[in-house]
Structure 1
Amino acid sequence: MRFHTSLFIFTRDLRIDDNVALIEACNNSDEVICCFVLDPNIAKKDSYRLRFLLDCIKDLKNEFVRRKSILQIFSGDYHWAIQQIERQKKINAIFINKDFTPFAKKRQTEISAYCMKNKKLFCQYVDHLMYDPNLIKTLQGKPYTIFSQFFRSSVQIPVPKPREDKITNFYSEKISDYAINSNFVEWGGGRKNALKILQNISEHVDYKIKRNYPGVDGTTRLSAHNRFGTISVRELYHSIADSLGPDHILISEIYWREFFSHILYHFPDVVKKSFRRQDISWKYNQAHFEAWKQGKTGFPIVDAGMRQLNNSGFMHNRVRMIVASFLTKDLHIDWKKGERYFAEKLVDYDLAVNNGNWQWVASTGCDAQPWFRIFNPWLQQKKFDPDCRYIKKWIPELAPLNSNQIHRLEKESFGSDYPRPIVDHSKESKIAKQMFG
């Protein structure tokens, strides 16, 4: 079916190239109005995630200008934004890329209802995942809950090549008067920055080793770009496969993201409760939780991670596991409280991935770490930050100490203003095993 005027709504796909629903809209319409709807509640917060998002929107807006067109930006809800557009231009169809989070599914249902009521076609496509969650099933027709089985099944299905459609039929008259706040400090968002990283992806040949050391530049920093879709998952997959080979560890990272997204789609209750363990008697100490959030637990590697999060919106992946294990296995605090705090702070926050990783560490998830395996923060920092580069960067009060002294802070203070450990790891790990055993 051919449409005269269609509307494409950007969500977590902030790019023009290899954008499935956008390409379909342009190929099946005479003209396409493109818009982004900014949640006013998010816009009120001066968060690092907002700064990154605004970078992405500004970069996308400039790309439309380069193509002699306009990205219509609104601040409000989707229903209101669509009505504002229709006051100026009648639309025949709405195109959008599917998102599989509970909030996104609700949004898509509401837009679908609007289209049905107003006799418009609503067209949805899978874009931010490699596969539709309904595609990967066991022989019994059930969703996979073990990553290794999911991975073996998924890799048999070829990943489509990025599409290079030359689309030019964008609507070019201004509808929205919303202006992006230009006072924010740039935070590395936008497709241009993502492509720079992707062009140098071959530098991560030793990623499997370097990714564990927070004191070295060994990660890709692409997670936030994945979150906001400044590059497509197909572009990411084929760039890695072409540069480093299809068996490189970075490929499995993409499939972990895919796996957690499939779990959230098929088991949406994981947002509110544990996937497996429901019988754990979590404890709650407000002072301990605040110390964890502020990076003042007396455990250097934990505190460095939390301070990095609070002051940048990022945290090294190895350290994410350490701080999550500390909250759940040393402080015995419900993983959901930690997950919610990460949701507030992380630039790359992705509900499916964040939830899946927290439940993995807390030993409550579908394919989780065994409950008796507990990260020892002291051993973790000795092994992965032996020279304390990462710790000293984020905890300036420890800068005067040498690495040997920092690793001995479990037993000695060396006259530092840095807080003493709020718990004894050896004792708390035994309690954790009793809780789970």
Structure 2
Amino acid sequence: MKLVWLRRDLRSIDNTALNRALESGEPVAALFIATPKQWERHDMAPVQADLLYRRLFELQKELDKYDVPLLYRQCDDFTQSLDLVMDVASELTADHIFVNKEYEINETLRDERAAQLCHDAKIGWSQFDDKCVMTPGTVLNQQGEYFKVFTPFKKAWLKKMSWPTIAKTVSASQRAPLSNMAQQWLWSKDQAFDYPRVDSRDYAVDFDSIRQQLRAFCQQAMDEYHTQRDFPAEDGTSLLSPYLTIGALSPRQCMARLHEETLSRPMSEGATTWLSEVIWREFYQHLVYFEPRLCKGENFHRWANHIHWQHNDDYFQTWCQGRTGYPIVDAAMRQLNHTGWMHNRLRMIVASFLTKDLHIHWHHGERYFMRQLVDGDYASNNGGWQWCASTGCDGQPYFRIFNPTTQSEKFDPTGKFIRRWVPELSELDNKTIHQPWKATQTLNYPKPIVDHKAEREVTLSLYKQAKGNE
């Protein structure tokens, strides 16, 4: 028997490890191990845990079509998961374990140890690059080094990329009988899942619905993506990121659908822009592969170690609660707290505000996002926060500082998004709603906690000093 150890690849379609196991022609079982203490250390959001939990039930149905049982176990952390996976392999008399690689440092170390345990037990171990369209290490500059800026990475990525085709999942041979103990390991509602969960019902978890969402976006919204994606009041994004995060959908599936939709016509500007977002995801995955220190909370640029952060817990809590006095910042944070998701343009605005208006270390914002986001992915979240804080990979200098008022006026011009999430401002006109401190009426809304113009100058001084101490 072959054993497939599933992690952040919760799909039956376009799953390299699963396909390779099925191609053996022997019976196959799949295993998922919950690690709540590890998830807690990694700041998994309860809403993401619920999405993952619900996805397991649908995945079980999908795998059953291929005669593959889904087994489930729970332990504290990655270290304990190694003993569990070996125990399950022994119980099933599995002679080979198949996995898809993860590139973060804890996950990499876990798999290195697992490979050694399999070698010692004379069990086969096969791991595959499945998480990205282009395998980390295959997109390099002319000196054979990894790219440290996105635009040249994108150009090289596009030059090397060939449009993927999605391999059909083959049927397994007849399922081998499971032992009584293994029968008890089948995923069910009776199994322990000891991690806090927050309702994720706004996100479908069956494959047909996920696929239809991908198709609908590509057919109906993708061509206008470049004009609509920055406006949070509009339904202009794909909302596929939660599925990519838990692996219910692969980036190759996104690419294949994009290719299918543009076969008979030139690729639109919207399609090209959406493709760039897929490549951004790849870029950050490649970075954590080449720079494990990013997974240890280090700044990408070492000069940033000299930035003198001015952490103020009252300011931080006010930011978290959406009570800063800047409407677009507050609306964004309330959206995050209520839904577990935030529009990408807003992620940049609130991150810039925390780091460059409040001068609070990006670590705090990064961690808060992970604890709230249904699509929290370490590489993308870390990359995004360091980009906004100007401590990470970025072709722009550190003096890019978002003005929350002008961003609000530009990307929510009528205040539609603000009115939804900051209803205490709903009666203001379309101009004053972006600067409620200028309103003539009394509002149940705080004054700005800082003056953006003044804090911008503080940031420029702090960063200039840090670079001078490099």
TM-score when scaled to structure 1?
Answer: 0.93
- Counterpart-to-counterpart distance in 2, 1:37 and 1:368: 40
Deviation at 1:249, TM superposition (A): 0.9
Q: Which residue of 2 aligns with 1:251?
A: 275
Deviation at 1:241, TM superposition (A): 2.6
2:22 counterpart (8, 22, 26): 26
Q: Which residue of 2 aligns with 1:227?
A: 245
Q: Which runs of 5+ in 1 are unaligned?
A: none
Deviation at 1:135, TM superposition (A): 1.4
- Counterpart-to-counterpart distance in 1, 2:166 and 2:347: 32
* Cα deviation digits, residues 269-312 of structure 1 (max 9, x gap): 12322111322111111100110111111111101111111111
- Counterpart-to-counterpart distance in 1, 2:177 and 2:433: 60
SS of residue paired to 2:159:
coil
Q: Which residue of 1 aligns with 2:72?
A: 73
Q: Which residue of 2 aligns with 1:379?
A: 406
| Conserved? CA contact 1:361–1:368, under 8 Å | no
Does 2:231 match 1:213?
yes
Q: Which residue of 2 aligns with 1:36?
A: 32
Q: Which residue of 2 aligns with 1:141?
A: 144
Does 2:298 match 1:273?
yes
| Conserved? CA contact 1:16–1:22, under 8 Å | yes
The equivalences for 1:32-431 within 5 A come to 32-41=28-37, 42=39, 47-76=46-75, 77-86=80-89, 88-157=91-160, 158-169=162-173, 173=178, 174-176=183-185, 179-180=188-189, 186-190=201-205, 191-200=207-216, 201-203=218-220, 204-244=222-262, 248-271=272-295, 272-276=297-301, 277-412=304-439, 414-431=441-458
| Conserved? CA contact 1:70–1:172, under 8 Å | no
Q: CA RMSD in A?
A: 2.2
Moved more, 118-127 or 187-196: 187-196
SS of residue paired to 2:428:
coil
- Counterpart-to-counterpart distance in 1, 2:49 and 2:440: 39
* Cα deviation digits, residues 19-53 of structure 1 (max 9, x gap): 11110111125111111111234599881111211
* Aligned residue type for 2:392: G
TM-score when scaled to structure 2?
Answer: 0.87
Shift in alpha-carbon separation, 1:326–1:45, aligned structure 2, 3 A: closer
* Cα deviation digits, residues 60-85 of structure 1 (max 9, x gap): 11213344542112222422432442
Deviation at 1:171, TM superposition (A): 5.0
Q: Which runs of 5+ in 2 are unaligned?
A: 192-196, 465-470
* Aligned residue type for 1:275: F
* Cα deviation digits, residues 77-117 of structure 1 (max 9, x gap): 42243244245321111100001011211221221122122
1:9 counterpart (5, 11, 15): 5
- Counterpart-to-counterpart distance in 2, 1:181 and 1:369: 52
- Counterpart-to-counterpart distance in 1, 2:422 and 2:177: 50
Moved more, 165-174 or 89-98: 165-174
| Alignment length (residue pairs) | 433
Shift in alpha-carbon separation, 1:171–1:139, aligned structure 2, 3 A: farther
Shift in alpha-carbon separation, 1:195–1:413, aligned structure 2, 3 A: farther
Percent identity over the alignment?
33
Deviation at 1:168, TM superposition (A): 2.6
- Counterpart-to-counterpart distance in 2, 1:324 and 1:196: 32
- Counterpart-to-counterpart distance in 2, 1:374 and 1:410: 21
SS of residue paired to 1:278:
helix
- Counterpart-to-counterpart distance in 1, 2:190 and 2:433: 43
Deviation at 1:58, TM superposition (A): 1.7
SS of residue paired to 1:206:
helix
| Conserved? CA contact 1:21–1:95, under 8 Å | yes
